[in-house]
Structures are given as C-alpha cells and as structure tokens.
Amino acid sequence: MEKKKILLLLSKFSDFKSRAIGFLTGFYFTHASIGLGEDKNTFYSFVDKGFIVEKISRYIRPDKTPAPCELYEAEVSDEVYEEVKDTLSGFVKRKEIFHYSLPGLLLSLLHIPHQSRRRFFCSQFVAEVLGKCRAARLKKSSSLYFPRDLRKMPEMRMVFRGNMKGMLDQFHPELAVS
C-alpha cells in the first residue's frame, strides 16, 4: 500500500513584495504553499489578501515567464494525512477570518517568535500545519520558518525543480498551457 503524501511548493514571483522578501531574507524562493497527495495543481497558503487556495494552472500565462519553483513531498501515515486534510479544510471553510501577518513577518526577520490564531505569513502557515499535524518535526517556532527552512526539513524530499509550467507539464499534462 502506497503511503500518502503532503506536498510543499516553494516559488518566487516577480512582483515587488517577492523581491523585497528575497532581499530581506537572502533566499531565492520567497513563497511557500502546502498541498495534498497527488494533486500537484492545488495548494494552500497566505498572501497579502489572506488565506488562499492556489491553482498553479492559473499562474501559467503565455505572455509571462513562468515562476521558478521547487516541489517537495513528505510521506505520512493515513492518520496524519487526514489530519492535514481536515486542517486545510477548516481554513477553507473559515477563510474570511484569517489574515496575512505583515507584523509577524517583520518579527520573524528579527528572530522574535510570536503566535496568532488568525494571522500568518506563507511559510509560517506551512510550518504550523506540518508541525500541528505531526507531518514534520519543528525545531523552532513556526513563526520563525522561512521557505529556506522548510526545504531543509528531513521529512521533505525534492521531486521537481524548474518552473510552474514545467511542473504542470510533468504532473498535469491535461492542464498544460502552450
């Protein structure tokens, strides 16, 4: 029987916010998202608008260079997989109460741990879900995780490096855009 998988997507967009975060953190990838199982098109994260469900296929446009990305997966038990799935479902059902945490991001840049039940930045959210659901062992507060920290988790194994179009072409050719 095949183990269930939790996905981690690291990406870098070309907008001002992404460039600023990259400058401040010193890391190439500036955005983190979490996904479930074999659907390498649907991910969950936080952006300046709050909690979002990301469809990678929406980011692929013929007039734009596809965003660079790396995809990781962690094998988990059925119990952990269901817990992550339920947690993400809870965020989706109550998405209007969750907000992006710019103050939290700034505190984390200063290495100051903090907690908020309804405010997250992207990599903090991913670390929080992974830790709370026992999909990964956190070595520090989830509020201190950046994309570079997530990729170093021993539970994570890289399965793709390239750009979002290449990822979609490889894992979801039916959704690929020319």
Q: Which domain holds residue 116?
A: 4-175
Report the run of H or E that residue 149 belongs to, with start and end.
helix 147-151
Percentage, residues of the chain above pLDDT 70: 97
Report the CATH number at residue 129. 3.90.1720.10
3-state class of 104 per DSSP? helix
Instruction: Record the tokens describing residue 72, joined without a space.
Output: 């990781």
The amino acid at 126: V
pTM of the model: 0.93
Report the run of H or E that residue 86 belongs to, with start and end.
helix 78-93
* pLDDT tens sequence across 99-127: 999 999 999 999 999 988 899 999 999 99
CB 91 within 8 A of CB 44: yes
The closest of 32, 115, 56, 51 to 89, measured between CA atoms, is: 51
* pLDDT tens sequence across 41-91: 999 999 999 999 999 888 787 778 889 999 999 999 999 999 999 999 999
- Give 178's pLDDT tier (boundaries 50, 70, 90): low
pLDDT at 161: 97
Q: Into how many domains does the chain fold?
A: 1
